[in-house]
Amino acid sequence: MKNTLRVAFLTVIALASPLAMADSGAKGSNSDDMDKDTEQALLAIPDILFVRPAGLAGCAIGFTAFVVSSPFTAMAECVDESWDTLVVTPGKFTFDRDLGDFGDTK
């Protein structure tokens, strides 16, 4: 199990490293000259590799927390607020935002 996890981790790092260090191709450009589309394109790589899977895990954890806490939130009459916080917010972050867009996540 440890070897499989280690190989998977090293594979992700090996695949992501050249993409993260890739030149945009524009001569004489620096980070101040990047327009929003170029910046989002560069942010799409870590978004696909790390943030979306973490968001998917957050959805599963949030749903589990909602199921466990729902009897208590029902007694307090705040099931809708609990659903929005634990399930809808991570779902919107994972599935509704554009690729590479880390701006306003609400």
| Structure-token match 């090293």, residue found | 10
Tell me if 100 sits within 8 A of 44, measured CB to CB: yes
Give residue-wise pLDDT tens across range 3-48.
776 766 666 666 665 555 555 555 555 555 567 778 778 888 898 9
28: left (phi over 0), alpha (psi -120 to 50) or beta: left
pTM tops 0.75: no
Give residue-wise pLDDT tens across range 71-90.
999 999 999 999 999 999 99
Tokens of 94: 């994972």
